[in-house]
Structure 1
Amino acid sequence: MDLGRIATAMITPFDSNGEIDYEVAEKVIEHLIANGTDALVVCGTTGETPTLTIPEKRELIHFTIKKVNKRIPVIAGVGLNDTAYTIEATKVVEDFGADGIMVVAPFYNKPNQRGIYAHFEAVASVTHLPVMIYNVPGRTGVNISAETTIALSKIPNIRIVKEASGNLDQMTEILGNVSPDTFVYSGDDALTLPLVAIGGRGVVSVASHVIGNEMQAMLQAFEEGRHDVAAKYHQAMLPLIKQLFKDPNPVPVKYALSKLGFPVEKVRLPMVEMLDEDKTKYDRIWEEFQEQVKVIKTL
């Protein structure tokens, strides 16, 4: 399954009472579809799933699938550190009509590589849906090795990898040893262009909430051989991306999206909103980025 170049890991909007705001969620979905998003990932890290209840996760996934209505693929985050729960959630979202599932490496348990393989194998065996491997050792405390990812890619419906290890050497090893129909996506916005340059497909992005069109322009320039232009986009984006991760994700991107008119700044504890000084710095970097993009578009 090809998710395109940019899949957005969607935020979860909350109202003033801390409940999921579905009216705003619909507006965010429409904004993303209209601004450079090729696929949506719902109930991932950016969606604050550690603080969502199981009923909330299921309702949000179901809602998103219905509102998207097959215009772009919707990938449902179902992974937990409990294989039995992950299997149960997979069956539920398959019935909802999800186009694929994202399964994170089991966290806290810290399984070895054999345990990680067995976890993904068990989940993949109960569904016909494409399975996205989500490797994010900074969150889970365990790295899915290149060898394990390569082995898992031989399972027929495991053909998508979200690599958020930040390790380009590991990504290169994976890309050099999987079949051409296995797509490797960066889980780090800052590594989007470097990964595509070594054969990756694209990015599962946070920054695309606010710069999706510019990211598409960067990747289009690269595909067209205008590597100097692609590099300029990358260079302009990097300070903004770094500021979007100044605080734990999704705190900064929720602030950034609120600056575009979406009332989504509220986060659930233990997340807390950005300090005013960091908001001011983001605003400055955003203005500088806009000016740089104007120049790049003339190249």
Structure 2
Amino acid sequence: MKLHGTVPVMLLPFRADESIDEAPFRKQVDFAIEAGAVAVCAPGFATEFYKLSDPERYWVAKTLVEQTARRVPAFVSTGCGSAHATIEFSQYAESMGADGLMVVAPKWCALGVKELTAFYEAVCRSVKIPVMLQDADFTGAGLPAKLFVELAERCPNFRFAKLEVLLPGSKCAEIIHLSGGKLQVLYGLGGVAMMDGLAHGATGMIPGSALVEVYAKIFRLYGAGQVDQARALFHRLLPYLVFALQHLELAVGIEKRVLYRRGVFPSDRLREPTLHLDNDYQKQMDELVDAVIGLVNEVKAATATRG
């Protein structure tokens, strides 16, 4: 399996009582695929997985696979607080027909490279489907490149690295070089470092699901050698991304607002506890949402004209 393009993480629509609203979740999967996603993923940070019960996380996995229906690969994010729970969830996802796993390491205590390598090796050996290591260190350099390479040598189904770290470019290039190109690298954090990733060999971006058309267009332009045009389009996304990435709940909230405005979700509700913005921040958010919806419409119109 190769991933070249946008792999959005699905968000969760909630009713007024904060229960999961199934129909718009399924609608979102279709929406993302039709917009150009090359694979889909859940339940991740954008899915508010940290607010879900275990049965809800399992439900998300099953429903994602069902709704994707083999149109594109479905990756289930299975990282839990222990190797035991992660393996259990991973094997469940595989049994439901998931095409791959995305696994973030336990964050509740500091672990060394030796312990983390053992954790990921145990997870990889527990399943047959491809595994993506989510290197989520939002304020640091993350795991050393040698961990990825050693793991790939031991576990043939370890195929992908998702980088969500500071200054990821050199690490991206190092992983690709040291693995002899066996490992594909994708960038997270909403795609805020997308141009850096493309320049250093990353083959995919993992943002939310609200703006897939724009990311897909940037990929097409870059792949066609139109780097300046790709960069110019990406720069129009930056104000939105910079605002969103001030806080995880803000990032989820603004994506949900775009999905609401685009008719995918019936509301932009998040589960509590969450941020409650004052009027000034609400105004900023609405202005940015207006801008990116306008950008999406431009991209869609240009694509329709070309087609």
Q: Does 1:166 align with 2:166?
A: yes
Could you say if the C-alpha distance between residues 137 and 247 of structure 1 is closer, same or farther in structure 2, counting changes exceeding 3 Å? closer
Alignment partner, residue 66 of structure 2: 66
- Tell me, in whole angstroms, the C-alpha distance in 1 between the residues paired with 2:290 and 2:17: 32
Could you say if the C-alpha distance between residues 245 and 263 of structure 1 is closer, same or farther in structure 2, counting changes exceeding 3 Å? farther
Alignment partner, residue 153 of structure 1: 152
TM superposition shift of 1:291: 5.8
Could you say if the C-alpha distance between residues 243 and 2 of structure 1 is closer, same or farther in structure 2, counting changes exceeding 3 Å? same
Alignment partner, residue 271 of structure 2: 268
User: Which residue identity does 1:95 align to in structure 2?
Assistant: S
Q: Following TM superposition, where does structure 1 have runs of at least 4 consecutive aligned residues deviating by more than 6 angstroms?
A: none
Give SS of 1:110's match.
Answer: coil
TM superposition shift of 1:88: 0.8
Deviations along 1:193-223, whole A, 9 cap, x unmatched? Answer: 21011111111112xx232112111111111
User: Which residue identity does 2:19 align to in structure 1?
Assistant: E
Could you say if the C-alpha distance between residues 54 and 192 of structure 1 is closer, same or farther in structure 2, counting changes exceeding 3 Å? same
- 218-227 vs 265-274, greater mean Cα deviation: 265-274
Alignment partner, residue 45 of structure 2: 45
Q: Does 1:282 align with 2:285?
A: yes
Could you say if the C-alpha distance between residues 185 and 232 of structure 1 is closer, same or farther in structure 2, counting changes exceeding 3 Å? same
Alignment partner, residue 183 of structure 1: 184
**Aligned residues of 1:94 and 1:129 also touching (Cα < 8 A):** yes
Give SS of 1:102's match.
Answer: strand
**Aligned residues of 1:35 and 1:212 also touching (Cα < 8 A):** yes
Could you say if the C-alpha distance between residues 7 and 275 of structure 1 is closer, same or farther in structure 2, counting changes exceeding 3 Å? farther
TM superposition shift of 1:184: 0.2
Alignment partner, residue 110 of structure 1: 110
**Aligned residues of 1:265 and 1:273 also touching (Cα < 8 A):** no
What is the correspondence of 1:1-299 to structure 2 with a 5 Å cutoff? 1-138=1-138, 143-154=142-153, 155-167=155-167, 168-188=169-189, 189-206=191-208, 209-248=209-248, 249-261=251-263, 262-289=265-292, 294=298
User: Which residue identity does 1:282 align to in structure 2?
Assistant: M
User: Which residue identity does 1:203 align to in structure 2?
Assistant: M
User: Which residue identity does 1:239 align to in structure 2?
Assistant: P
TM superposition shift of 1:245: 2.4
- 41-50 vs 254-263, greater mean Cα deviation: 254-263
Give SS of 1:232's match.
Answer: helix
Give SS of 1:16's match.
Answer: coil
- Matched-pair identity in %: 23
- TM normalised by structure 1 equals 0.92
**Aligned residues of 2:141 and 2:166 also touching (Cα < 8 A):** no
Give SS of 1:153's match.
Answer: helix
TM superposition shift of 1:183: 0.8
- Tell me, in whole angstroms, the C-alpha distance in 2 between the residues paired with 1:71 and 1:274: 38
- Tell me, in whole angstroms, the C-alpha distance in 2 between the residues paired with 1:90 and 1:106: 14
- Tell me, in whole angstroms, the C-alpha distance in 2 between the residues paired with 1:142 and 1:106: 17
- 8-17 vs 210-219, greater mean Cα deviation: 210-219
Q: Which runs of 5+ in 1 are unaligned?
A: none
TM superposition shift of 1:242: 1.5
User: Which residue identity does 2:207 align to in structure 1?
Assistant: S
- Tell me, in whole angstroms, the C-alpha distance in 1 between the residues paired with 2:207 and 2:38: 11
User: Which residue identity does 1:144 align to in structure 2?
Assistant: L
- Tell me, in whole angstroms, the C-alpha distance in 1 between the residues paired with 2:114 and 2:188: 23
Deviations along 1:25-45, whole A, 9 cap, x unmatched? Answer: 111111111112111111111
User: Which residue identity does 2:183 align to in structure 1?
Assistant: T
Deviations along 1:230-274, whole A, 9 cap, x unmatched? Answer: 111111111122223244231221122222222241111222344
Deviations along 1:109-152, whole A, 9 cap, x unmatched? Answer: 2110000100000011111010010011138x993221212222
User: Which residue identity does 1:169 align to in structure 2?
Assistant: S
User: Which residue identity does 2:147 align to in structure 1?
Assistant: T
Could you say if the C-alpha distance between residues 242 and 84 of structure 1 is closer, same or farther in structure 2, counting changes exceeding 3 Å? same
Could you say if the C-alpha distance between residues 87 and 276 of structure 1 is closer, same or farther in structure 2, counting changes exceeding 3 Å? same
Q: Which runs of 5+ in 2 are unaligned?
A: none
- Tell me, in whole angstroms, the C-alpha distance in 2 between the residues paired with 1:276 and 1:38: 37
Residue correspondences, number: 296
